[in-house]
Structure 1
Amino acid sequence: MDLLSVLPQLGGFVYTIASFVVALSIIVAVHEYGHYIVGRWSGIHAEVFSLGFGPVLWSRYDKRGTKWQIAALPFGGYVKFLGDADAASGKDSAVVEAAAADPVQLRRTMHGAPLWARTATVAAGPVFNFIMSIAVFTALALSMGAVRDPLTVGAVVPVPGVESQLRPGDELIEVAGVPLPGLGDNSGWVAFNAALPFSPTLEYLVRRDGAEVTLTDTYFSPAYIDTVMPRSAAADAGLQSGDFISRLNGEPVFAFKQLVDHVAATEGAPLSLEVTRGSESFDVSLSPRRVDLPQGDGSFASRWLIGITGGKLVDYATESMGLGEALTTGTGQVWGVISSSISGLGHMITGAISTCNLSGPIGIAKASGDTASQGALSFISFIAVLSTAVGLLNLFPIPALDGGHLVFYAYEAVVGRPPNDRAVQILMSIGIAMILSLMVFALGNDIFC
């Protein structure tokens, strides 16, 4: 293997790592800032705000005496409050005891602050992750807008070798005599797609300049790649959004449905695709992978997939979306990530789906690189999804995580006193061991699954 053949692989590796570090650094910064700012508002002094672990590369003190630093290992971060023994907020008994003689100084420590202040400070990290995700999804919804009703052509996908008859501004009425359903009518769209004749060309009834016009154009859902899923066979093969599949195992294809049906029938057998990208055509070989997909009822179904979604012949025209509607959309997307994550974890614990669905640092880094290569919007959306997942993970009731501390505070609220320091230390050690074991297991999934 010569140097020229290694350079592209090395460049891809560096790009993946850089994307992962950027995504994780943003998420960690938001999470830790939530702890810091709510702690400050609550009267708890932060001694150190660190992005990363290990040797300090840069640091400075602010006017409040907090040390802000960037460390060499960019795979996490922490806020060390006064009275904390370590980054996991273990109690430094010597500091707390020394401060006990001065009520004002004791109030500034994490462990001498009122229960409400400690609870708010710990909960703020995950909450800020969720707020960031909602804000990102809301901004994306505002920028993309809502699909105009009635459905109107915003742009026509340029099918290779075909001069489309549809134009931007055409209002779609019928396709092959089948009326288009309403925007939110999911069952109607299923019936619409099933009723379309399976033919390379279809008749389109549109309203153009106030008059109804019948046109002939290509299939409504051509063999066109709209999105490529990260960590999929398609992503590994280099397929991109906007690619057209012209042949499948040597046979011509005109509809995305042909790809779906063939992939489902092959059960993992290798596929040969002829791909058209712009003015160029090239061949790609790949094998479908078994994927557990969440269903509407909370269950999961296994499917053979190559990791692409298809688009329509047209991109629909959009109109401005109100802030309230966008906020509802963004909140719904965050809740969707949370509910599907909890459901997936439950199904893995019961053995209903494979534990290979749990990704570790290698898998997350690969997904970061894949989404970054698809453009800024995909990468930003991925960061929002990952931020939600990080917030949820930190709420798990495991000692050393935020959720574990909240359990300790709940115990204190019920019993009237904090748990024994020795018991907390033991539980924290158990929690750290559990987290490390989970990380090793997830890393094993990345390598062997």
Structure 2
Amino acid sequence: MNQIVPLFGNVAFAIAAFVVALSIIVTVHEYGHYIVGRWSGIHADVFSVGFGPVLISRVDKRATRWQIAALPLGGYVKFLGDANAASVGSEDVAPDIDPRKTMEGAPLWARAATVLAGPVFNFVLAILVFAGSAMVQGQSVDPLTFDHAKPLPDSYQNDLLPGDVMLAVDGHQFDDATRTERLIDLLPVEQSLEYTVLRDGVEMTVMGPYLMPSLIGQVIPRSAADESGVLSGDVVQSVDDTPIFSFMQLQDVVTQAAGEPVTLSLWNEGETREVTLAARVTDQPLPEGGFETKYMIGVTSSFFFEPLTERVSPISALGFGVQSVWRSVTTTLSGMKHMVLGNISTCSLSGPVGIAETSASMARKGVHSFVWLIGALSAAVGLVNLLPIPVLDGGHLVLYAYEGVARRKPSERAIQVFMFIGLAIILTAIPFTILNDTVLCP
């Protein structure tokens, strides 16, 4: 019983986090359909958050029923004349109703804009989330300035002080070309390094930790590290009793182990503990495109310090948001391509179980992490809905493209076959991703 209660609590929390994230993303998606449809002259009969029995509803002045239903598994908008919530097929409307107000009778441009608006609103939500994240976190001031060191064991010497302007490390300057992780390749692997800083207008040399110590930045949800209890902020002091002090050493040891179990000795805020885990084969996207298969335990690196930051302007933040969504979309498309070609494993796909577990993990890390996940998932939902698969928005757009080129709508029979194929794809994909999450790639 003592084991069942925490397990039930974890499952309930995962479901709750998943439902909250899904409800926000789908509501924004459906609102995109609704508002652009309204602007285009198409009347919406129902806007529903959730499915099933209606819990609360009200009818607005435009005769649209807004409702919350019992099953919080998404939502839908039903336009006038739609046979169902998926806008597949049509039903008869009263003869006194203007056909222009129905989805079926609206001009092609209005239907296409209404369908396209759902994914577009998902991308907009993702951009706003990432932009908001940038504004909350700020950006490093220029020149790079030391604010404070992250907690490290006493074996790491640190003489840097808040406000020190960081000019160079081991003779290599912190300039625009080498301020990122590329600087690591130029440094000797030593636990302490010489830092040239500007302190109170005086240039001096002080000792500080290795730039990227064996400090865990983030733990990837559902990874080997996550499941073994590794935490953000842990410092790996040794692997199988072999001392290490840099993240590169940790990477080398994990790679050499080739999936065999290793024992990590971890330090965190003065306390030590050990965990045993085995790296998993993972497909990692490359900056120039494509993927690299390597053994990973599921953690990210971190610099030993936090830089002094400044507020980001809304314009710069929006630019960051757009870049983040673009990077997410291109990486996902590249992943799909390589998956179809058989270059990477289908374990990269996550279904409802994996997304629920990830939602719970990010929610436990705090509001900022959870909101960031909503942005990432929203971008993914927007992209998936644009795929030319019948039933999805992309499938509708394919039909509209045909109508625009052929100057006539597809036959009802063709639409039925097209939608049946799409439904078969969806009903096959969902169980497959669930198997991926639970059996094939747990």
* TM, length-normalised to structure 2: 0.95
Amino acid at match of 1:320: R
Maintained 8 Å contact 1:289/1:306: yes
Amino acid at match of 1:437: T
| Equivalent residues, number | 439
Instruction: Find the counterpart in structure 1 of residue 112 from structure 2.
Output: 119
SS at match of 1:57: strand
Amino acid at match of 1:167: L
| Structure 1 residue runs without a partner (length 5+) | none
Give 2:329's match in structure 1, choosing from 327, 338, 344: 338
How far apart in 1 are the matches of 2:288 and 2:358? 27
Amino acid at match of 1:111: E
Instruction: Find the counterpart in structure 2 of residue 354 from structure 1.
Output: 345
Give 2:425's match in structure 1, choosing from 434, 438, 448: 434
Give 2:373's match in structure 1, choosing from 382, 398, 406: 382
Instruction: Find the counterpart in structure 2 of residue 314 from structure 1.
Output: 305
Comparing 118-127 with 156-165, greater Cα deviation is found at: 156-165
- Deviation of 1:388 after TM superposition, in Å, equals 0.6
Maintained 8 Å contact 1:158/1:164: no
SS at match of 1:49: strand
RMSD: 1.7
How far apart in 2 are the matches of 1:128 and 1:120? 12
Instruction: Find the counterpart in structure 2 of residue 171 from structure 1.
Output: 165
Listed as ranges, the matches of 1:165-204 within 5 Å are 165-176=159-170, 178-185=171-178, 189-190=181-182, 192-204=183-195
Runs of 4+ aligned structure 1 residues displaced above 3 Å come to 183-186
How far apart in 1 are the matches of 2:169 and 2:177? 18
Residues 183 and 319 of structure 1, relative CA distance in 2, 3 Å threshold: farther
Q: In the TM superposition, what whole-angstrom CA distance separates every residue of 1:226-259 from its partner, at most 9, and x where no partner exists?
A: 1111221111122222121222212222222211
Listed as ranges, the matches of 1:270-281 within 5 Å are 270-281=261-272
SS at match of 2:434: helix
Residues 184 and 72 of structure 1, relative CA distance in 2, 3 Å threshold: farther
SS at match of 2:98: helix
Maintained 8 Å contact 1:242/1:277: yes
Maintained 8 Å contact 2:168/2:174: no
Instruction: Find the counterpart in structure 2 of residue 23 from structure 1.
Output: 21
Listed as ranges, the matches of 1:285-300 within 5 Å are 285-300=276-291
How far apart in 2 are the matches of 1:212 and 1:281? 37
Tell me if 1:404 matches 2:398.
Answer: no
How far apart in 1 are the matches of 2:367 and 2:201? 38
SS at match of 1:92: coil
How far apart in 2 are the matches of 1:390 and 1:343? 16
- Deviation of 1:402 after TM superposition, in Å, equals 0.7
| Structure 2 residue runs without a partner (length 5+) | none
Tell me if 1:49 matches 2:43.
Answer: no
How far apart in 2 are the matches of 1:132 and 1:275? 38
Instruction: Find the counterpart in structure 2 of residue 105 from structure 1.
Output: 98
Tell me if 1:443 matches 2:434.
Answer: yes
SS at match of 1:362: helix
Q: In the TM superposition, what whole-angstrom CA distance separates every residue of 1:175-198 from its partner, at most 9, and x where no partner exists?
A: 23x223423547x852x3233222
* TM, length-normalised to structure 1: 0.93
Instruction: Find the counterpart in structure 2 of residue 394 from structure 1.
Output: 385
- Deviation of 1:146 after TM superposition, in Å, equals 2.0
SS at match of 1:227: coil
Comparing 67-76 with 106-115, greater Cα deviation is found at: 67-76
SS at match of 1:351: coil
Maintained 8 Å contact 2:82/2:89: yes
- Deviation of 1:323 after TM superposition, in Å, equals 2.5
Identity rate, percent? 49
Tell me if 1:415 matches 2:438.
Answer: no
Amino acid at match of 1:39: G
Listed as ranges, the matches of 1:237-248 within 5 Å are 237-248=228-239
Give 1:235's match in structure 2, choosing from 226, 229, 251: 226
SS at match of 2:211: coil
- Deviation of 1:64 after TM superposition, in Å, equals 2.0
Q: In the TM superposition, what whole-angstrom CA distance separates every residue of 1:197-216 from its partner, at most 9, and x where no partner exists?
A: 22222222211000112212
How far apart in 2 are the matches of 1:194 and 1:44? 59
How far apart in 2 are the matches of 1:423 and 1:136? 40
How far apart in 1 are the matches of 2:356 and 2:173? 41
